[in-house]
Structure 1
Amino acid sequence: MPTDTDYVRSGLRDVLATMAAFGLALGLLAAVPAALVMGASPAQADQAEEVILEDGAGVIHEPTLREGLTDIDFREPTTVVVWTQRGEAESNLNERLLADARENHPEWISDDGQKWTDGLFIYAIDPEGRLQGVYFGEDRKVGLETQEDIREDAVESLTEANWTQAALDATESAAAVMNRPWYQHPGVWIGGAIVVVVGGIFGGAVAAGRKKQQQKAQAELDRGNQAFANVSTDLEATELNAHTVPEGSKYGAMVLERYRTFHERYVETARQNDRLSGIPAKKLHRKEHRRAITAYLKQAEELDQLDDTVGSTNTLLNKYPGWPEAWDIQTAPMREDLRQIDELVTGQPKLTADQLTPLRSFRPEAERELERLGAGLETGQISPDEALDGLDSLRVRLTGLLDDYAKAQIDAFATSDAERQTLQGELERERHRASRRPGSILDTVHQPGWFWTATAFHLGYSSGQSHVVTAREQAEASASSSSTGYGSSGGSFSGAGSSSSF
């Protein structure tokens, strides 16, 4: 007599057989459009039959437009109209275009006065009201979702005020879908592809995710191993350097305090290196291993940076041979920041001269001070500690200036408390995650985020600005919808087309 297990096994075989047959059937279904495409004759490629420019807004560069249109292929001869007019966001672009066509271009309208004439594609822009629209002859019309896709393809150029390129972008997008054979429509492929994909999507997604996690973990492990190898190679030299760092120096004492637990941390990192190196690559995706690898990488890189700093400290404070190079390592972060100041303050039309001048004037002043400190070290007029004090003072001043500059930029860009919080949050996040420069005494003795760096400022503000812009676009998208009607003056006109804001 069959057992419960036999019934289960039999049922499982039936399910698997049904799934296999279903997948095969739908796979064959998916192959039908492919066979049609392979057997179909190549589509006729035509350039625009006629190009009409009605640039009431005066924003289109006609030679560029006409040259660009020669590179766009249409499936059937098509008249392309690019129409611009300045108006207001609250106005109906569809209605204004129709009124102009009725008065000045009756040939754009069908004989019965109800549609756009056959063979016609119109792209309209209102740069003042920030509106765009696409319109089609009855034999070229596409669905509303496709019209929205066409307009979306032009948005990037529109937001950059590149009106001519926007017209080319929209026209190229429209040419790709007008009179498209049914078997080339994405929907035909979706039905057949869904089942073919569903059969393996779960396993494929799991495998892909696992492989990605393995690759990331392996990359971090490799970085950690390299940093640990550097520390191990320099271990004896680092210990010797630490023994001769002058404890009477303020900065020497602070570096030695950071070094106090170096040996214990090195031993622990060596244990982690041994354990992690024994994990098979195929198991690196596991959460516990990934966490351990990330912690190992952080510890190994911190040790690698610290041993560089111990070497620089010993050489600079004792003015051993090679001390100028050690001093260059200390000033490198400051010089890097100074080189980026011009980029930070360029192209900020919303900020006043009073807000920009402090950073601009700080650069030449700081460069002169760096030269003075270096010369004083060379002649012995100032001690290494005094030189580091001067460098610390410069970096603290720059941090204060960047704080003020951040507040000015936030006030100029943000339009709400939520936007201000977003910008401030991203700036602070980048400030505290900024990596310490290897060998930098000041970066070592101060806590993360003590100094602002130009790089961290730029990354933080760019990230915050991007988040704010995305939030604004989403809000605008939810608040606005496309317009398909032709207004009260349109009467019974029902030509294919629609418009929306950008």
Structure 2
Amino acid sequence: MPFSTADPVAVQPARSQSAPTPLAALALAALVSLLSLLVMLPAPALAETPRSVSVTDTDTTGHVDPEILESRLADVDFRRQVDLAVLVLDITDYGLEESQDTALNDAVLAHAKDAAPELLAPDGDHWADGTVIIALDPENRFVGTYAGEDVKLDEDGFEAVQEAMRDDAADGDWEGSLQAGVEEYADLLDRPWWQHPATLVVGLVALGGAAVTALSLVGLRRAARRRVDESLPRLDDVLSKRRLTDAAARTLPTESVYAQAALADHETYREKIEEATQLRTQLPTPQERRWAWGLKGPERTLARDFEQVVTYLDDIDDDIIGTNDLLHRLGDWHAAWERELAPLQDSIDSIDSALEDGEDVSPEEAAAAADLREMGGDVAQEMQTLTSQLEADQIDPDSALRRLDTLTTELSAAVAALQRLRISHLAADDEEAEVMRDASWDADLEHEDQGYRSVRGRRHALDAAASGSPDGQGTFWHLSPLLWYRTWHDEADTDLEAHRNPSSSSGSTSGYSASSGGFSGAGSSSRF
């Protein structure tokens, strides 16, 4: 509702010409409150440079210059005094293997016991109070962070320090990596609660929740009203064509298996007409609709259901009429025939991209792909011939549709054979083969979204439902087999790669080996 922005006391800032809704004004007020709170928060504690800094590079190759690095790290500001120790070492010097997840933890502890006892607490089971240790193994690609009990971070904090080191370490910038780790540790140690990212998130959620909710509700309200406003005239158009749709269904040739699919569509069409009519009675007219209509969940659900049923009706009545035109070669039957050709044509057009595998192809796959390319050329020629025969009345529509089904079956069989060869070539064992076969489900889901409006597809779905088999005949079958194969190929390769290389290998590793005598110092390491 519009309202005045005039204020007799204070001069108001410039505003957009369209006045904000009350909900939007609340959202803006919440955001201003959040910014004000952040401005008024107390300043951080005074900075403290490290009480001591030591850089030890046990590798004779000299990955870092200790003197220069010590000078740079001495200027890093902590929130309390700490003793900073930086270690660059090679775990293999301590008899450890790169494959051991705790190798750097054990190497740092061994170094402290052998050469730097000042890093250990008097009890020998923890790091010394006030001590922060940043460690790096350039050769075996480890980074680590360790600390005394009074200056330790939580597990997430240790991981954050290692994450800060990782990019520079991966680039071979060892000094940059170590400095980044020290600076991140200094930033996290004794960080005020109000500087913690989680606190900021909570504040944003709490103070911005009203804004998000308000704006979301306004957007959802508008979407619900738009769905109804766009669907009402579409339903009127469907109802105006109902006699034509019913007449088309009545005159379908009953001996045609494709007509049977269209008749089944008509039964559903009649049910959806009743559903749409009932839903419309629950909707207020645009003139009677109050401003808040669409804010409530049930109202939005009603709008969405109404839109879905009207969309179905708007498509299926054209399909019923088009099928009748095609089977009788009346009216715009060419458009209906093109819809039947489209899935196969898409397969032909995608042959090159679907069969492009680079060097990772077995001789058997290459031969099968060559056969498929040749078959694609034959299918394209056959489709042209069928179109010419239909136009010259040399073949009846039902026979032409059956021939398209045969071509689809032949292409599907060739694709299924290629899929088996692909699995046999790439899968190292039965488990990997199962992973690749399971990718077929994802490919099915994505491929069905192509949305082909083909009576052949609907006829095949009826056969599948009658037989209890997903493909109707117990064999692989898709309207556009090569499009399906391209999708499956990508899904299978991705799933196989994820199966072979789980993404959990770079996580931090806490703890020490049994040979460490039950050492309980805080810290962890990870790989880069």
**Residue of structure 2 equivalent to 1:148:** 159
Question: 2:106–2:512: 8 Å Cα contact kept in structure 1?
Answer: no
* Count of residue pairs brought into register by the alignment: 430
1:138-167 per-position Cα deviation (integer Å, ceiling 9, x unaligned): 9x9966422323556899x99xxx954999
**Residue of structure 1 equivalent to 2:399:** 386
Q: State how far apart, in whole Å, the 2-side matches of 1:36 and 1:434 are.
A: 55
Q: State how far apart, in whole Å, the 1-side matches of 2:495 and 2:220 are.
A: 27
Structure 2 residue 469 is the aligned partner of structure 1 residue 442: no
Q: State how far apart, in whole Å, the 1-side matches of 2:488 and 2:338 are.
A: 25
**Residue of structure 1 equivalent to 2:16:** none
CA shift at 1:210, angstroms?
A: 5.8
Q: State how far apart, in whole Å, the 1-side matches of 2:200 and 2:175 are.
A: 32
**Residue of structure 2 equivalent to 1:177:** 184
1:252-283 per-position Cα deviation (integer Å, ceiling 9, x unaligned): 45424423553553354244235335576745
In structure 1, stretches of 5+ residues that fail to align are 1-25, 42-51, 57-73, 103-108
Q: State how far apart, in whole Å, the 2-side matches of 1:359 and 1:281 are.
A: 61
Q: State how far apart, in whole Å, the 1-side matches of 2:483 and 2:179 are.
A: 39
**Residue of structure 2 equivalent to 1:20:** none
Higher mean C-alpha deviation, range 26-35 or range 451-460: 26-35
Q: State how far apart, in whole Å, the 1-side matches of 2:132 and 2:367 are.
A: 58
Question: 2:221–2:295: 8 Å Cα contact kept in structure 1?
Answer: yes
Structure 2 residue 265 is the aligned partner of structure 1 residue 258: yes
Q: 1:284 to 1:465 in 2, by over 3 A?
A: farther
Q: 1:192 to 1:428 in 2, by over 3 A?
A: closer
Structure 1 length normalisation: TM-score? 0.57
CA shift at 1:482, angstroms?
A: 0.6
Q: Secondary structure at the match of 1:179?
A: helix
CA shift at 1:197, angstroms?
A: 6.8
CA shift at 1:337, angstroms?
A: 3.7
In structure 2, stretches of 5+ residues that fail to align are 1-32, 48-56, 62-73, 78-83, 121-126, 463-469, 472-476
**Residue of structure 1 equivalent to 2:317:** 307
**Residue of structure 1 equivalent to 2:380:** 370
CA shift at 1:391, angstroms?
A: 1.8
Q: Secondary structure at the match of 1:498?
A: strand
> Which one-letter code corresponds to 1:259 in the other structure?
H
Q: Secondary structure at the match of 2:338?
A: helix
Question: 1:94–1:485: 8 Å Cα contact kept in structure 2?
Answer: no
Query: RMSD of the alignment, in Å?
Result: 6.4
Q: 1:417 to 1:436 in 2, by over 3 A?
A: same
Q: State how far apart, in whole Å, the 1-side matches of 2:106 and 2:35 are.
A: 50
Question: 2:76–2:183: 8 Å Cα contact kept in structure 1?
Answer: no
Q: Secondary structure at the match of 1:336?
A: helix
Question: 2:90–2:139: 8 Å Cα contact kept in structure 1?
Answer: yes
Q: State how far apart, in whole Å, the 1-side matches of 2:412 and 2:336 are.
A: 23
Q: State how far apart, in whole Å, the 1-side matches of 2:177 and 2:251 are.
A: 70
CA shift at 1:134, angstroms?
A: 3.9
**Structure with more of its chain in helix, by fraction:** 1
> Which one-letter code corresponds to 1:482 in the other structure?
T
Structure 2 length normalisation: TM-score? 0.55
Partner residue of 2:283 out of 273, 276, 294: 276
Counterparts of residues 25-424 of structure 1 (less than 5 Å): 31=38, 34=41, 36=43, 76=76, 88-90=98-100, 92-94=102-104, 124=137, 132-134=142-144, 144-151=155-162, 164=171, 174=181, 177-180=184-187, 188-189=195-196, 221=228, 224=231, 228=235, 231=238, 238=245, 249-259=256-266, 262-263=269-270, 265-276=272-283, 278=285, 282=292, 284=294, 286=296, 288-320=298-330, 323-340=333-350, 342-344=352-354, 346=356, 352-354=362-364, 358=368, 361-379=371-389, 380=392, 381-400=394-413, 409=423, 412=427, 415=431, 423=439
Q: 1:390 to 1:421 in 2, by over 3 A?
A: closer
CA shift at 1:231, angstroms?
A: 3.6
Q: Secondary structure at the match of 1:133?
A: strand
**Residue of structure 1 equivalent to 2:5:** none
**Residue of structure 2 equivalent to 1:482:** 509
Higher Rg of the two aligned structures: 2
Q: 1:250 to 1:467 in 2, by over 3 A?
A: same
Question: 1:245–1:314: 8 Å Cα contact kept in structure 2?
Answer: yes
CA shift at 1:330, angstroms?
A: 1.6
Percent identity for Structure 1 against Structure 2? 16
